[in-house]
Amino acid sequence: IFCLIYFCLLFLYSFILLFNIFNFFVFSFYYFFNYIQYIYIYFIIYCFANIEIFVY
């Protein structure tokens, strides 16, 4: 019975640790995608500016 409780606690602890790591990764990816989004918007604006210059 004690072994089962220990295993349960270990599982819970590992799950919490995994969730923490997952949360950290999600946070990092959120910031990373935000950064990419800004670069993407800047790139689109730059391309449109180039197209306008090319048209003129």
* Residue 10 DSSP symbol: H
Per-residue pLDDT tens digits of the chain, which is 56 residues long: 677 778 888 888 888 888 888 888 888 888 888 788 888 888 888 877 776 666 55
Which two three-digit tokens encode residue 42? 């800047």
From CA 4, how far away is CA 20, in angstroms rounded? 24
Q: What are the residue ranges spanned by the domains of the chain?
A: 23-56
Kindly write down the DSSP assignment for every residue of 21-54, as one continuous string.
Answer: HHHHHHHHHHHHHHHHHHHHHHHHHHHHHHHHHH
